[in-house]
Structure 1
Amino acid sequence: MTGRLEGKVAFITGGAKGQGRSHAVRLAQEGADIITVDILGDIPTAPYPQGTEADLAETVRQVEALDRRIIAKQADVRDYEGLKAALDEGVAALGRLDIVSANAGIVSGFAPSDQLDEQTWRDMIDINLTGVWHTTKAATPHLRASGGGSITITSSVVALKAAQNVAHYVAAKTGLIGLMRTLALELAPDRIRVNTIHPTTVKTDMTFNEPTYRVFRPDLENPTEEDFIEATHGLNPYPINLIDPVDLSNAIVFLASDEARYVTGIEFPVDAGNAIG
């Protein structure tokens, strides 16, 4: 443990598994205590399982194994009052808030924009865009009370270049850039820095599922994980197919640390060159 975040408290949404768990563990390795929430229930329009109570318990176990404190609660980022109550409880227990990782998000409904159904569009915007606004709205008073802090919003490389058949996802993730820039201006006088990170394809359950395989291999009736991996060759200019969650966690550590004390209002790609490829 190098202690770059010693004495700080971080709030992470979507912390039961995947990127969220990685962020919780990595920030804890650097000395932060953790508050995290997850929906702990499936979303009908998302074609893969969401985090469970057992998943969230495993996140707790891994953070506590690092001798850090963690408060983990069920909350849906679409429900502002429930999200705020969970965060307020965590701050009351741990004493402050310094770092926010607005990480919770989904991928769903691969289709041309004129063929997306209303519920698929609505869930995407409600979770991936409005849910991030809810997260920052609930966190801002606590960050102000702590004398400043860092908010890192998880966007996507598609917000920097667009993509077909995911108009709702591109719209939500691009909207996060506008939200980030506005918050960076509004919160700068409070010494609160706000940035976005933009991953390429990441090794999580959001990626490893049959509907995603079919998008990459529409030529196959029943594409496998191996077929999907093969199809991702050349996706990024840098010679790697998919990045690991910890690659994003490391970026969040940097942006939350004093090393980035004057870094605010930027789009931070962690994409193996995908945005320029």
Structure 2
Amino acid sequence: MRIGTTLAACGLAALSLGACAAPTPPGQLIADPYENVNRVMHGFNVAADRFVLRPAAQVYDVATPTLFQHMLGNFVEHVRLPLIFINNVLQADVDGALETAGRFGVNTLVGAGGLLDPATEFGLPFEDNGFGVTLAEWGAEEGVFVVLPVLGPATSRDAFGRIGNIAMNPLTYVTFGGGTGQIAAAVGEFVGPVIILRDQNFEIIDSVLYDSEDSYVATRTGYVLSRRNRIADGVVDVEALPDVFAE
């Protein structure tokens, strides 16, 4: 009941975005009526990256053997599969749901609980999905650009999508071990994946945040283009995206 109520609220809110979203100014990629506040949040996030996330990713890269990094990356993808499966079902993607369920079963049973990835060799590669994509499939408008503290850039639709992802993710409801177990689940669901993602994309994130003339504009452009690409085609082709530093 808790999940259903949350999803219903997210869905109704996101579906109403088209009526309340500000129009996109001529020549601009997306409407950004909250730019002043967004820039403040962006500055906070850059500082958090500089002093916390970036050093943590560097320590992780140096202290963790390459094999373990590969296994941890596999596990982070593995624990997302139940969430991906739910979104496949919500999108009426029968093939995607079956492939996701098959991948989860194979890697759980013969992939050391998801640390290894034999499923890819069996023709069941990892295909990401989330509630933001589901809302787009349901007809929710993209909305306006927003920057969330810590969580980073988003569209209005994706912001509601992230709430839906949290509501649908089984790890959100892990309560084993009392408070300690809840903290461990939160680390496994949020902190670990973010550090791993930062490490895997170290150079490009550094380029956007620290080498671009206006890191806010570069972040906004790169995020919006990649999300539109993902929702339209299901694949983000980074090499095919326009130069985000040219705006």
Where on the TM-score scale, by shorter chain, does this alignment land: which range?
A: under 0.3
Higher helix fraction (1 or 2): 2
Larger Rg: 2
Q: Normalised by the size of structure 1, how large is the TM-score?
A: 0.26
Higher RCO (CA-CA < 8 Å; seq separation 6+): 2
TM-score (norm 2): 0.28
